[in-house]
Amino acid sequence: MASLTYNSFKKHLMNGGIDLDTDTIRVALVTEDYTPDQDAHEYFDDVTNEVVGVGYTADGAALAGKAVTQDDTDNEGVFDANDTEWTVATITARAAVIWKDTGTDATSPLIRYHDFGEDKTTTGTTFKITWAAEGILNLNDP
């Protein structure tokens, strides 16, 4: 499955319900058994098959070093954060789900599904997501 941005995120963003650089934004890991629905999945309670394993805590990790910038060269808005790591982890994940944490899964909006393209496995080592040099999410509208 390819990476995607949940359609509900676009609505929440336009309505002012998500502020990417000031809200608590988290990244959770999921197995290959989670099938994202770009249209129907809106909140974190729609996500199934979250990773379970040593060194990984349910609901994932909060993104650190978040920034929203304007890229005039590519005519886009860019959301980025520091790379995310789980140290001394024994887990297998197929993808990451980025979401805004409101404290309640049923009201925590989904943002993006990031497919790794294959299962990533660590055994007692660091599981690291290295975000793209162009950012985690780029918004453009020519």
Contact 99, 26 (CB under 8 A): yes
CA distance 2 to 11: 21
**Where are the chain's structural domains?**
4-135
Task: Write out pLDDT tens, residues 82-98.
Answer: 999 999 999 999 999 99
27 sits in which H/E element: strand 25-30
Contact 49, 34 (CB under 8 A): yes
Task: Write out pLDDT tens, residues 88-125.
Answer: 999 999 999 999 999 999 999 999 999 999 999 999 99
Tell me the whole-structure pTM to 2 decimals.
0.96
CA distance 81 to 134: 11
Q: DSSP states of 66-117 as a string?
A: -EEEEETTTTEEEEE---EEEEEEEEEEEEEEEEE--SSGGG-BEEEEEEEE
- For residue 61, how far is the Cα from the chain centroid? 10
CA distance 95 to 115: 4
